[in-house]
Amino acid sequence: MAAGNGLLHRRAFLAGGGTLAAAFTGYALSDTAAAQQLTDDSWSRGRGALIPEYASPSAFEKGVARTLSNPRGEPRTQHARTPHHLLNGTFTPNGLHFVISHSGAPDIDPATHRLVIHGLVRRPLVFSLDAITRYPLVSRMHFVECGGNSAPMFSNEPVQAGVQAIHGLVSCAEWTGVMLSTLLDEAGIDPGATWIIAEGSDSMALSRSVPIAKALDDAMVAIYQNGERLMPGNGYPMRLVLPGWEGNMQVKWLRRLELVDQPAMSYYEARTYAQVLPDGTAYQFYFLQDVKSFITHPSPGLRLNGPGFYEISGLAYSAGGRIAKVMVTADGGKSWAEAALQEPVHAKAFARFRIPWRWDGSPVVLQSRAWDEAGHVQPTRAEVVARRGQTKAPVTNLAAFPSQHYNGPTSWAVETDGNVRHVYA
């Protein structure tokens, strides 16, 4: 046994044949008569339904949906949160990718949409979507996370909510597009250019300043999301992808890139994301989404059906590159075991971790902690709170962001009845 409270070696599942494999049996329904003869259910007795041109999940899966903060589309921000507890693997299906949109989703005609590159360049350029698509395309797995994701963790008392409400503002997709460096090469960067102002074509024309170094490193103008064109809410027909950086900078419905010699100090960079810290100072810029992990299975809403074997699994990701290691505890931090990472592990993308666990039915506290390949380690909640503060009264409005960039751990208490509850440990 690798650690306390029933955590098993991460490869125990793979060992096969031995006593552990035997321990994992017994979950099938065993009825000798039924095993000999299957009856034909209604769906086996007639011709099946028409296969549609564009498929949607089974009607039985209709609960697998995003939660909306503004379901009537009133004139304020809309948040759609990803149900991580109902998904598995490492990328988010397009219909469930989280969305934050400050003025809805513009209905852009791709035939007339234009992207302009101008300012401190040798020659200003205008691109149509067709033109962009003729440059060499690259496909990369990357997460996008709002700086306000997990903000309920700044509550001085643990909010009674699950992984969707707490961590639903992060998703991961395979983005296909043109490296921004390719387009900038063609425009020719004036040596005086140090920043790029990126602007969207939604009615608020959201704009953010991006350092040239990031633009030349791994920034992309994305046009495909998990193989199909971007979803309207995620920036159709083109968006900026800045791997590992704050979601707000990854401008959707991208229409302008202006090369300049200083940041624009636009609304979001000067106000929302330059929040005041407990000591009265503020970060002028904080672009990174630091190393983080959380357990998705089990988590609140997924009740354990009696003692026995379970897989603990979750997501880890970091602006610092690939996830190198995830440790899991089943005794509130007294002992830890290393989880297995689903291969391949992509840089600045979701890594799925898994570890087998034998629950004996007693109350336990589960938590995960991640390391990235650059050596960054997920801080404790106390460390995050020391830097960024916490609320004085419990948070009740989960849409409020008391602070930004929470990357500490999340603790799930499993009670004797199998229910899972959010606690601080």
Ligand X SMILES: Nc1nc2c(c(=O)[nH]1)N[C@H]1C(S)=C(S)[C@@H](COP(=O)(O)O)O[C@H]1N2
- In whole angstroms, the minimum distance from the beta carbon of 245 to Mo ion comes to 11
Between CA 161 and CA 157 the distance in angstroms is: 12
Give CA torsion, residues 282, 287, 291, 293, to 10 deg. Answer: 90
Q: Does residue 206 bind ligand X (CB under 6 A)?
A: yes
Q: Does residue 252 bind ligand X (CB under 6 A)?
A: yes
Q: Does residue 371 bind ligand X (CB under 6 A)?
A: no
Of 91-130, binders to Mo ion (CB under 5 A) are 100
Of 326-365, binders to ligand X (CB under 6 A) are none
Sole binder of Mo ion in the list 152, 168, 244, 247 (CB under 5 A): 247
By beta-carbon proximity to ligand X, the closer residue of 5 and 149 is: 149
By beta-carbon proximity to ligand X, the closer residue of 99 and 398 is: 99
By beta-carbon proximity to ligand X, the closer residue of 6 and 258 is: 258
Sole binder of ligand X in the list 146, 315, 347, 366 (CB under 6 A): 146
Region of 58 (left: φ > 0; alpha: ψ -120 to 50; beta: rest) is beta
CB 3, CB 329: distance < 8 Å: yes
Query: What tokens appear for 31 in the block?
Result: 């009825």
Size of the site for Mo ion (CB under 5 A): 4
CB 420, CB 413: distance < 8 Å: yes
Sole binder of ligand X in the list 10, 97, 113, 422 (CB under 6 A): 97
By beta-carbon proximity to Mo ion, the closer residue of 247 and 314 is: 247
Sole binder of ligand X in the list 248, 293, 299, 390 (CB under 6 A): 248
Q: Does residue 168 bind Mo ion (CB under 5 A)?
A: no
- CA atoms within 13 A of residue 51's CA, in its CB half-sphere: 0
CB 178, CB 129: distance < 8 Å: no
Q: Does residue 164 bind ligand X (CB under 6 A)?
A: no
- Which does residue 263 touch among ligand X, Mo ion, none (CB within 5 to 8 A, set by kind)? none
- CA atoms within 13 A of residue 401's CA, in its CB half-sphere: 19
Sole binder of ligand X in the list 3, 91, 202, 210 (CB under 6 A): 202
Q: Does residue 248 bind Mo ion (CB under 5 A)?
A: yes
- In whole angstroms, the minimum distance from the beta carbon of 87 to ligand X comes to 15
Q: Does residue 275 bind Mo ion (CB under 5 A)?
A: no
Which residues make up the interface to ligand X (CB under 6 A)?
Answer: 97-102, 144, 146, 171, 200, 202, 206, 233-235, 247-248, 250-253
